[in-house]
Structure 1
Amino acid sequence: MADFQSVFGATPTGVWAAPGRVNLIGEHTDYNDGFVLPVALPHAAKATARRRDDGVLRLFSEQGDGEVTELRVDGLAPGSVTGWAAYPAAVVWALREAGHDVGGADFHFDSDVPSGAGLSSSAALECVVATAYRDLYELELTGPELALIAQRAENAFVGVPCGVMDQMASMCCVEGAALFLDTRDLAHRHVPLDLAGQGLRLLVIDTRVKHDLGDGAYAELRAGCERAAELLGLRALRDLPPDRLPQALDRLPAELRPLVRHVVTEDVRVEQAVARLDAGDLAALGPILSAGHASLRDDYRVSCPETDLAVAAAVAAGALGARMTGGGFGGSVLALVEAGTLDHVAAAVTTAFSDAGYAAPRTFAATPAAGARRVG
């Protein structure tokens, strides 16, 4: 590994970290002004950085091609940077677009958030840059404000029309809790998630099926939801009361009905999950997770054979519930398991993948971790 000194020939100012995330429930509700319930992972993007006063941004990643990307901050514009470097460059651009007088920096990145696994590796990269820039340039910005900067970076510079959940999770989660977030106004609170205290674990199953949210399918889903809301005379699907769902579906074209049904029922599942956590009944999350996956598979249609198999195999092996997490079209599955069965469930999923002729999945236990921060 190349360290900051060997790459840039200078002494860094500090080290920052921003985590990836899994989402307990609330998939594809964030861009419908809905509710979500993410948890930060212990896996994080780390940035060693220093400020530069010559307007040059230099970027190096241990997961990259071994080359330093050098850019001028006054030349940054949507479409001007491609590949992984677009994400940190986008944040600098978004800060400047928001009126913050920021210049250059040197960044050395190292991340153990699996890329393309639906665990928000891109948001972790954006948020670690935003957090470092806040400190390097003494910006008076809150976590939610930085999350909005990072979201704009991904929307307008990178070109992915994501909601704000991933960035809010990376910026605002705390250790030992899930983040109950209203994506309309960013109101949020930390809901205790003491898994160990109840003998439970969260098992993450990375199917290793890569997804690319910039390939158009994600944007099409969002556009379908926005069209449905417009046809129903709503600001967003979040404003459709669950008891009016049947009548609303009758007013929509057939191709939009499953999207609306998923979003409305998923918001209900988030509220149900929060109620269970507040009551200390963590095991009751299991059926909610499984119901969420069925909706993502059958109504929203963003699952795939590998994620479906991971869910089915985990539940058959004793998981209390399981669902895909992330934007879909591959990625990871989250399973709620009793602590003593974690290895058994992981092995059962691996065996099922082998029997189906799929590449072996990566499995690991996740504990609720802290959000973006300076670590050195």
Structure 2
Amino acid sequence: MTSIISRAQHLFEQHFSAPAAFVVQAPGRVNLIGEHTDYNDGFVLPCAINFKTVVCATKRDDGLVNVVACDYNQAPDAFSLDAPIKASHQQWANYIRGVVKHLKQRGYQFRGADIVVTGDIPQGTGLSSSASLEVAIAQTFKVLYQLDISQTDIALNGQEAENQFVGCNCGIMDQLISAQALANHASLIDCRSLEVTPVPLPTTWSVLIVNSNKKRGLVDSEYNTRRMQCEKAAKTLGVLALRDLDIATFEVNQHKLDSVTAKRAKHVVTENQRTLDAAIAMANGDMLTLQALMSQSHASMRDDFEITVPEIDTLVDIIKQAIGELGGVRMTGGGFGGCVVAVMPKELVAGTIKAIEKDYYTLTGLVAETFVCTAENGAGILTVN
């Protein structure tokens, strides 16, 4: 982390001929359980991780926002707050422009800024690099101009920008955990009320994220299809969202749905209950229960929601064989590639990584990347000059 902060600070001085006034961070996240439940008004259990977006910034007296992206060959972007904020041809810049535009639409008053952005969240792996960027930019303007905006509203602003400006119809989970996570805890999030309940992560457990390096395909189109199927199921069954169904009520009424839509709804209804149960298990240090719930979650994503791929299933099987009932493992993220998350006693991590290195390439022809993660705080100031 220090190296990316130093790199951003150095680049800021190069471009703007003075040190940055503030350095702000916002973390990525991994979702431990609760997949595709967020846009169904349901429950999720993510934690922020020790991979972040870092922003160096100083306010300006005029309405110009100057941005330099370290991770895109120091690509620049500039736009004025005194004119309508329109989309850029650079996709990374649209996350920044969208956040600033929606802050202004919400009535916040501020002027321009000189900004350098960098980060170490692996992109395209489902660890929320985009949400982290959105939250980091809003946090930056909050800090620069002492905006009276809550962390929840920073998250909502980021989601709104991604939905309406960038054009991805995401739920609230990623932005909310990035904005207000608590170190050494996961967060049980009610995606309807936005209530966040910290859940302690036992100090003897580790979170292992494994990037399958299976390029994620079909994510956008299939995501939108799954969302429409869930909305159709809720409408047919006469509820506002699938979170309003318990398992027993769903089972009595599922005959009203076609077979595919019923499978999609079954995943969401059962996943919501698994997530609530997992939060209790984690708080009690009950790994046997957590392991079973994560295993059921993966099977549901594979068989009912149909968003896993053979490489992901293979990776889950390798890890499951390495940790047995002493740890839980499942796919995490939108699906069709990306990452697997495992929770296990710290002493099992090294052996699990060796098992992955030994078997995954042989079985798939791909090389996995492993990240041992800690649960971190949400967005805030890193240093002040």
TM-score, normalising length from structure 1?
A: 0.94
Residues 36-115 of structure 1: pairs in structure 2 closer than 5 A = 36-75=44-83, 77=85, 79-115=87-123
Change (3 A) 1:78 1:353: farther
Q: Hey, what's the Cα distance between the residues in 1 that align with 2:219 and 2:340?
A: 21
CA contact (8 A) 1:160 1:213 kept: no
Q: Which residue of structure 2 aligns with residue 365 of structure 1?
A: 372
CA contact (8 A) 1:118 1:211 kept: no
Q: Which residue of structure 1 aligns with residue 240 of structure 2?
A: 235
Indicate whether 1:11 and 2:56 are aligned: no
Change (3 A) 1:27 1:105: same
Large movers: runs of 4+ above 6 Å: none
CA contact (8 A) 2:219 2:335 kept: no
CA contact (8 A) 1:205 1:364 kept: yes
Greater helix percent: which structure?
A: 2
Indicate whether 1:356 and 2:356 are aligned: no
Q: Secondary structure at the match of 1:349?
A: helix
Q: Hey, what's the Cα distance between the residues in 2 that align with 1:175 and 1:190?
A: 9
AA partner of residue 73 (structure 2): D
Deviation, structure 1 residue 56: 1.6
Indicate whether 1:315 and 2:320 are aligned: yes
Q: Hey, what's the Cα distance between the residues in 2 that align with 1:232 and 1:82?
A: 42
Indicate whether 1:206 and 2:200 are aligned: no
Change (3 A) 1:212 1:79: farther
Compute the RMSD of aligned alpha carbons.
1.7
Indicate whether 1:306 and 2:311 are aligned: yes
Structure 1 unaligned segments of length 5 or more: list them.
Answer: none
Change (3 A) 1:15 1:4: same
| Counterpart pick for 1:133 among 138, 141, 144 | 141
Q: Hey, what's the Cα distance between the residues in 2 that align with 1:79 and 1:214?
A: 23
Deviation, structure 1 residue 210: 3.6
AA partner of residue 7 (structure 1): H
Q: Which residue of structure 2 aligns with residue 158 of structure 1?
A: 166
Q: Which residue of structure 2 aligns with residue 344 of structure 1?
A: 351
Residues 277-316 of structure 1: pairs in structure 2 closer than 5 A = 277-316=282-321
Indicate whether 1:273 and 2:278 are aligned: yes
* Bigger mean CA offset, 149-158 vs 52-61: 52-61
Q: Hey, what's the Cα distance between the residues in 1 that align with 2:84 and 2:251?
A: 48
Change (3 A) 1:4 1:74: same
Deviation, structure 1 residue 104: 2.1
Q: Secondary structure at the match of 1:63?
A: helix
CA contact (8 A) 1:195 1:282 kept: no
- Size of the aligned set, in residue pairs, is 373
AA partner of residue 203 (structure 1): L
| Counterpart pick for 1:262 among 253, 263, 267 | 267
Q: Hey, what's the Cα distance between the residues in 1 that align with 2:153 and 2:299?
A: 34
Question: Percent identity at matched positions?
Answer: 37
Q: Hey, what's the Cα distance between the residues in 2 that align with 1:62 and 1:176?
A: 29
Indicate whether 1:118 and 2:95 are aligned: no
AA partner of residue 179 (structure 1): S
Q: Hey, what's the Cα distance between the residues in 2 that align with 1:237 and 1:328?
A: 20
TM-score, normalising length from structure 2?
A: 0.92
Deviation, structure 1 residue 101: 2.0
